[in-house]
Structure 1
Amino acid sequence: MKYTILIILFFLVISFRPWNFFTKEIQVEKDSIPQDTLAVAVHDLFTNEYSDLIETKRLDQTIERFMDQWEIKGASLAIMKDGKLIYSKGYGYADEENEVKTDVNHIFRIASVSKLITAAGIMKLVENGTLSLDDKVFGEEGILNDTTLYAPVKDKRMNHITVENLLRHQGGFTNRAGDPMFCPIDIAEKMNVPAPADLNTIIKFVLSRRLGFTPGTSTCYSNVGYGILSKVIEKISGKNYEEFIQDSILIPAGCYDMHLAHNLDKDRYFNEVKYYEQSDADLIRSCDGRDTLVYRSNGGNNIEALYGAGGWVASPTELLRFLSAIDANDSYPDILTKESVEIMTKCVKNALPLGWMNTNNQGDWWRSGTLAGTSAMLKRQRDGFCWAFITNTSNWTGPRFPHKIEGMMARAMDRVKEWPDRNLFDPDYCKAFEDGKKLLANEKGVQAHPVHPDNI
């Protein structure tokens, strides 16, 4: 009966979205900082102290040494085993200047891990029967056939680009002249529009150039391809990209604190970390075209134009919740069918998987992402462990840094001899944890140290 009532209340909350009624009030209290954070985020149930365990001290030490080595200001880690969240903890500073320590409730830019979210959105439309992976994207019969936005097309081969071509980075786009998603001023000038160039302008620009290869015949990693997929989602669903993803993917997966990012530090969400770059990072011209030199992570890059290519913010905990909903594992209800998950993770010769960066037949899947100011890594391992690690600091190694994160995590996890048997996704566990703290506090008359509820 208790669980039936909880389930009914959950669906009532999702249906009526009470957070919409108090968003305005919160914005006033937070000096007008964007407040799209919803009321019932998973990590609101617990804090760092839940993972302040004797068993994981050596893991913590490995991570802290790694952060010192690479001068990382702040980071956050979540670990899941067989669908259960067993560890979640923040390290260092979310905002060093204001001495704000990183906790599990902080959200970060996740860069290209966003592509996995976009791919899930595309597969949901395929399941709904409103889209096919073979559908053409451009041309008279294409999905994006608005001639005012997406014409003229320079290379007729573009009319043969399919949805699957874009998902697998086989659309024919290359970065020989630079990644168009990171050239907001140059493209704005060439297209005779105010800077920064928005996503529609960027797409129109690449359509006015020739392709690097015939679609489907080769593979070249393409951010603009996933930008185009964001517009495909909008056209087919009739909703803006962020709204569709939240309503159809994230909220059904139990993720309530994932949003599209903003360009400037002053526009961060109230629980979003501050971003830092390496000590010798160059300043560049502001993406809005002003003659002002800024850091890439704070106005240099037009993050708001990335959309599904790299625009999301999230916590590691909610990334694992999302992963648990697209893994075809029975331990947590999936938002996609097993057939869709198999399509996304299938190994195809000379092509990338859908959304993921790499998969293999043994069950290892991973997705990385880097931007100025952040590095992110999400991995599902064949041994049942899944983990997400995100930093708020970049370094000179750029897109190679997630591989260093992967090596560090292998060493850190190997130092844990016995993992706690628990599930931080379970509200009952969190309640038992808090009850245990209160019990010890009453007995000792002092603030209780975090304890494992099984030991109470």
Structure 2
Amino acid sequence: MKYRVMMKFLLRYSMVMSIAVWSGVLYTGCGKDSPDPILPPVVVDPPGPPSSDVNIPEVDNDITSFMAKYNVPGISIAITRYGKLVYAKRYGFADKEAGEAVNTNHRFRLASLSKWFTSAAIMKLIEQGKLGFNDKVFGEGAILEEMYGSQPYGAYVRDITVEQLLHHTAGGWGNSSADPMFAERTLNVYDLISWTLDNRPLLNSPGTKFDYSNMGFSILCRVIEKVSGETYTEFVKENILEPSGITNMTIGSSTLSGRKTNEVKYYGLANANPYGYGDGVIERLDGVGGWIASPTDLMRFLVRVDGFPTVEDILNTATLNIMASQTPASNYACGFIVSGTGNWYHGGTLTGTRNWMVRTTTGFCWVILINTSATNSAFNTDLDKLIWPAVNNSATQWPDHDLF
């Protein structure tokens, strides 16, 4: 049944259209790019996940041009077609000062791509019958009861549901102004939630207005912990990562000295230190924006939650339908955006990090990870345009191999 339904779905959307809407993604850097030109080095990969031994000029030329235009140190990509990893390439430097080239084993900060994993973990709890999509989060008899903040709660707090946190319609705590996720940096994540409840009142009735909220997804991480009885990372690793064949994802570090094995070095804009979160903010972000991973591991995950019949999904069809559901308030689903043509996508930004992940209606998925960031809209627009020319061109010769 799943195969017939998805084949009808693929035929219906046989023409891929480029995503024209740029996600309201997390965290904007500041300043200007470094003026020093960076040319991608010619390198041989060290041991690790295989890279493509063929070239697709439409992909490679566009990426190297993008790097030259925006002075990008390093990029790593992975592309799947009908569930097969057909292209995995790296360009430029993981560490400019050391002359270390990016290889396909390198891990990058995911920033808001982390939310896709958090959403999948919530869906797994729903599928297991341990959590309801419309369950209340705060207050007597709710999931988190009165564990956080002072009583009585302010207006609207007791009305918030799991669904509203997933869809960023909880009524506030957004990143459009002063993002509470980056306030009070000396507090741990649990005390920060209490501080937010006490000091940042909701502005709208839950369910009525979209306001992209990092704090909302941090609360979802605490929901996962309360319902599962495990830490957030333990539950995600056991129920999402391991079933997807992923063993090398972890939560990153805020400091250069805490840089993980095979993690790239990050390059901020002028006067923007990518390791300026030395008080533990990256660790505090966990399922909001704290994961690090390689492009190949991201594709291992995405092909198992894409709803296509080519690789068995880790969530059933009914759960995936909930995950891809939208509200009248926006085109945001649960952890990602759904375009008008049915493509799924999300981006992520931290100072020194920019990335983009896509699942098309025609069976392609890809991710682009970058170890710098920019504030101008042209950078974002051009990043969105990468990969699409090759995907849309019926003459593109995609390899038949599978690099997974």
Please confirm whether the aligned pair reaches a TM-score higher than 0.5, indicating the same fold: yes
- Partners in 2 of 1:378 and 1:342 — Cα distance? 19
**Where in structure 2 are the equivalents of 1:87-236 lying within 5 Å?**
87-147=87-147, 149-175=148-174, 178-185=178-185, 195=186, 197-208=187-198, 209-236=200-227
1:68 matched to which residue of 2? 68
Tell me which amino acid in the other structure corresponds to 1:219. F
1:376 matched to which residue of 2? 355
For residues 404-438 of structure 1, the C-alpha deviation after alignment (integer angstroms, 9 at most, x for no partner) is 3111332465677311111111xxxxxxxxxxxxx
Larger RCO: 1 or 2 (CA < 8 Å, sep 6+): 2
- Partners in 1 of 2:145 and 2:392 — Cα distance? 52
Per the TM alignment, residue 298 of structure 1 is displaced from its structure 2 partner at its CA by 5.3
Tell me which amino acid in the other structure corresponds to 1:174. W
**Where in structure 2 are the equivalents of 1:182-331 lying within 5 Å?**
182-185=182-185, 195=186, 197-208=187-198, 209-278=200-269, 280-282=270-272, 295=274, 297=276, 299=278, 302-331=281-310
Q: 1:390 aligns with which of 352, 360, 369?
A: 369
Per the TM alignment, residue 338 of structure 1 is displaced from its structure 2 partner at its CA by 0.6
Tell me which amino acid in the other structure corresponds to 1:46. P
Q: 2:387 aligns with which of 409, 418, 422?
A: 409
Secondary structure of the 1:93 match is strand
CA contact (8 A) 1:137 1:163 kept: yes
**Where in structure 2 are the equivalents of 1:34-49 lying within 5 Å?**
46-48=49-51
Stretches of structure 2 that go unaligned for 5 or more consecutive residues are 1-45
1:16 matched to which residue of 2? none
Per the TM alignment, residue 111 of structure 1 is displaced from its structure 2 partner at its CA by 0.5
- Partners in 2 of 1:156 and 1:212 — Cα distance? 9
Per the TM alignment, residue 274 of structure 1 is displaced from its structure 2 partner at its CA by 0.6
- Quick check: 57-66 or 254-263, which moved more? 57-66
For residues 174-194 of structure 1, the C-alpha deviation after alignment (integer angstroms, 9 at most, x for no partner) is 346500112234xxxxxxxxx
Tell me which amino acid in the other structure corresponds to 1:204. S
CA contact (8 A) 1:375 1:401 kept: no
Per the TM alignment, residue 349 of structure 1 is displaced from its structure 2 partner at its CA by 1.9
Aligned residues: 356
Larger radius of gyration: 1
- Partners in 2 of 1:239 and 1:403 — Cα distance? 40
Secondary structure of the 2:66 match is helix
- Partners in 2 of 1:213 and 1:65 — Cα distance? 44
Secondary structure of the 1:214 match is coil
Secondary structure of the 1:266 match is coil
Per the TM alignment, residue 354 of structure 1 is displaced from its structure 2 partner at its CA by 3.5
Per the TM alignment, residue 267 of structure 1 is displaced from its structure 2 partner at its CA by 0.8
Secondary structure of the 2:156 match is helix
- Partners in 2 of 1:349 and 1:146 — Cα distance? 30
* 1:47–1:153 Cα change, 3 Å: farther
* 1:326–1:297 Cα change, 3 Å: farther
Tell me which amino acid in the other structure corresponds to 1:228. I
Per the TM alignment, residue 61 of structure 1 is displaced from its structure 2 partner at its CA by 2.0
- Partners in 2 of 1:70 and 1:120 — Cα distance? 33
| TM-score computed with the length of structure 1 as normaliser | 0.74
Per the TM alignment, residue 352 of structure 1 is displaced from its structure 2 partner at its CA by 4.4
1:53 matched to which residue of 2? 54
* 1:273–1:184 Cα change, 3 Å: farther
Per the TM alignment, residue 301 of structure 1 is displaced from its structure 2 partner at its CA by 7.2
- Partners in 2 of 1:351 and 1:53 — Cα distance? 40
* 1:136–1:380 Cα change, 3 Å: same
Per the TM alignment, residue 323 of structure 1 is displaced from its structure 2 partner at its CA by 0.6
Q: CA RMSD in A?
A: 2.2
* 1:145–1:298 Cα change, 3 Å: closer
For residues 242-266 of structure 1, the C-alpha deviation after alignment (integer angstroms, 9 at most, x for no partner) is 0100001111011111111111111
* 1:152–1:177 Cα change, 3 Å: farther
- Partners in 1 of 2:254 and 2:243 — Cα distance? 28
Per the TM alignment, residue 68 of structure 1 is displaced from its structure 2 partner at its CA by 1.3
CA contact (8 A) 2:167 2:327 kept: no
| TM-score computed with the length of structure 2 as normaliser | 0.83
Tell me which amino acid in the other structure corresponds to 2:255. L
CA contact (8 A) 2:173 2:215 kept: no
Per the TM alignment, residue 99 of structure 1 is displaced from its structure 2 partner at its CA by 1.0
For residues 184-211 of structure 1, the C-alpha deviation after alignment (integer angstroms, 9 at most, x for no partner) is 34xxxxxxxxx2x221122111111311
Per the TM alignment, residue 362 of structure 1 is displaced from its structure 2 partner at its CA by 4.1
CA contact (8 A) 1:184 1:302 kept: no
* 1:297–1:394 Cα change, 3 Å: farther
Tell me which amino acid in the other structure corresponds to 1:316. P
* 1:361–1:71 Cα change, 3 Å: closer
Tell whether 2:74 aligns with 1:83. no
Stretches of structure 1 that go unaligned for 5 or more consecutive residues are 1-42, 186-194, 283-293, 426-456
Per the TM alignment, residue 45 of structure 1 is displaced from its structure 2 partner at its CA by 5.6
Q: 1:359 aligns with which of 313, 327, 338?
A: 338
Secondary structure of the 1:184 match is coil
Identity %: 38
* 1:352–1:145 Cα change, 3 Å: farther
